[in-house]
Amino acid sequence: ALLGGFVFFGGLKRIASFTEKVVPVMAGLYILICVVIIVINHANILTAFESIFVNAFSTKSILGGFLGMGVKKAIRYGVARGLFSNEAGMGSTPHAHAIAKVKNPVEQGNVALITVFIDTFVVLTLTALVILTANLGDGVLTGITLTQKSFEAALGHVGNIFIAVALFFFAFSTIIGWYFFGEANIKYLFGKKAINIYRVLVMAAIFIGSTQKVELVWELADLFNGLMVIPNLIALLLLNKLVLETSDKYDKVNNL
């Protein structure tokens, strides 16, 4: 909270700049190490894919889905974790994309689509394969602990340390990014005078969130993420015609 506060109040802009440079490197390194671990555990790859399909299409899963129980849980946690992962549909990243200098907004929109693909289909799929090929599915470990143990199983204590460091930079950069998104909205709605109050509230939220039970934090995050989706989807529906027209013009000009 204090480290975030220094950045929010402009005292340590170098930290924000440093994080901005380090995170892409950490992301690339994370993907590389995931691939290395999967290669190390290559003997378990077929078993991992088998477990995915067997559990997805088992009698229990099919009956559960047919009766609605499985579908309900899949939608509940799938949508919630999907939003938490890539924020697609929440309207959070347009703040960053809007300031990009591009010839056509469609180009930046395509970049936004690519980021969702990389995050969800590349990073998360690789993480899942690391966990499955580590073969630690005793049902006791969950969340980040399971990920750490999976990396540790292949790389020893170094894997555990790497996840801790990567998680710190990813989490800290996320806090900074969301802070500046919120600041832009506060400035627009209430003016510059309200920014300091907002900064204090964010610091308090960071401190309180870090001291609460993980389950409560997840539930609150899911709640507020969902509340952000509703007005954004309404705006997207209203802008649908404009988006299609702009996209069609771009395709025609570039012979796509």
Q: Taking the model in full, what pTM does it have? A: 0.73
Mean pLDDT rounded to a whole number for the chain: 80
DSSP per-residue string spanning 58-120: SHHHHHHHHHTHHHHHHHHHHHHHHHHHH-TTSS-THHHHHT---S-HHHHHHHHHHHHHIII
Domain of 113, in residue numbers: 2-253
Length of the chain: 256
Judged against a pLDDT cut of 70, whether residue 98 lies above it is answered with yes
The model's pLDDT over 44-64, given as tens digits with 9 standing for 90+, comes to: 888 888 877 777 666 555 555
pLDDT of residue 182: 85
Please give the tally of structural domains in the chain: 1
pLDDT band for 38, please (50, 70, 90 cuts). Answer: very high
Judged against a pLDDT cut of 60, whether residue 11 lies above it is answered with no
